[in-house]
Amino acid sequence: MMTPKNNIVIGIIIALLVVASYNVDANPIEFIEGLPNLAIVVEEMLLVEPKYVPTAIWAMFETIQMAFIGTIIGFAIALPLSMLAARNLNSKYVYAPVRALLATIRTFPSILWAILFVIMVGLGPFAGVLAIIMYTIGFVSKLQYEAIETIDSDPMDAVSSIGVSKWQLIRYVVIPESASHLLSQLLYMFDYNIRQTSILGLVGAGGIGFYIINYIKFFEYGKAAVFMLIVLITVLIIDWISVKIRDKYIIKSQHGMEVTTK
């Protein structure tokens, strides 16, 4: 409903948008003027060089493996940390420092972690894997502890009134009750990590991004296009697979019904 209060809020948001755009030089006219430049790049990109497809697939495979290791290890480390960070399971003396630690980890984007690890372990995919692990810990732990905090308090209360230990409560109530959320987050994270592993090559941390950035640097858009196309196809496939998994395990358990897929 449009109430005077809502109008004021919308007005403030528009005002902030204008001020912020001015501050960061966001100029729509420049954008329109720049469109022909994009056309040139697109035109060059259309000169796809198919002989690079095997290399691109191989690089993509490396990227997927990096994302896979990073996601699984990151997720496994994040899970116990998020159990400690959940407010409904711990006193504030436990969750507050753990949350602070996780917030610190989350402050750095994956590209900064990648630079750090390239310095530590040298150029190559391993630095990328470490960056993905750190990023996954910071990012997914927040999703996890928020999911844990939203689980129904009734099963928790009912089971804790039996006199079970906290670890039993986590094992038998918290994990099963949040399982569908956790699985959903794992899939999302994997999907997300594939896309971001693709750009970690920018700083020399391996994967398909290494090729893309180098071809772009040397204005070989046709070659870069092959690699970008492979990324696109992979992301679409992964997305399709996660939809299938979601239908089978997640939606069903959340709504308590069978989902029929074609």
Partner 1 sequence: MKKIQMIKNQPLSLISTTKIIQMSNVSTSYDSKNFALKGINLSIDRGTNYAIVGQSGSGKSTLLKLMNGMMISSNGTIKIDYVVPDMNDKKFKKMMHTIGYIPQSLGLIKNITVIENILIGALPRLSKIQSLFKRFPEHEIQEAKRILKLVALSGKENRKVYMLSGGEKRRVAIARALMQKPTILLADEIVSELDHVTAHEIMDLIADAQKQMNLTAIMVHHDMQLALEYANRVAVIKEGEKILEIGVEGEKIVDFQTGDMSAEEIMEMYNDDSKK
Q: Which residues bind partner 1 (CB under 8 A)?
A: 152, 154-165, 167-168, 171-173, 176-177, 179-180, 253, 256
Residue showing tokens 């070989």: 220
Q: How far is the CB of 166 from partner 1 (least distance, A)?
A: 11
In the bound state with partner 1, the residue whose beta carbon lies nearer, of 136 and 144, is: 144
In the bound state with partner 1, the residue whose beta carbon lies nearer, of 88 and 253, is: 253
In the bound state with partner 1, the residue whose beta carbon lies nearer, of 6 and 254, is: 254
In the bound state with partner 1, the residue whose beta carbon lies nearer, of 112 and 251, is: 251
Distances (CA, A) of 51 to 48, 56, 57, 251: 9, 10, 11, 42
Kindly give the interhelix angle for 208-217 and 53-85, rounded to the nearest 10 degrees.
Answer: 120
Q: How far is the CB of 91 from partner 1 (least distance, A)?
A: 12
| Helix, strand, or coil (residue 80) | helix
Q: Are 254 and 151 in contact (CB under 8 A)?
A: no
Helices of type H across the chain: 4-23, 28-45, 53-85, 92-107, 110-121, 125-149, 153-160, 166-169, 175-200, 208-217, 221-245, 252-255
Q: How far is the CB of 157 from partner 1 (least distance, A)?
A: 6
Residue showing tokens 């492979």: 230
Q: How far is the CB of 181 from partner 1 (least distance, A)?
A: 11
In the bound state with partner 1, the residue whose beta carbon lies nearer, of 123 and 159, is: 159
Q: How many CB atoms lie within 10 A of CB 93?
A: 7
Q: How many CB atoms lie within 10 A of CB 249?
A: 16
Q: How far is the CB of 223 from partner 1 (least distance, A)?
A: 48
Q: How far is the CB of 164 from partner 1 (least distance, A)?
A: 5
In the bound state with partner 1, the residue whose beta carbon lies nearer, of 178 and 196, is: 178
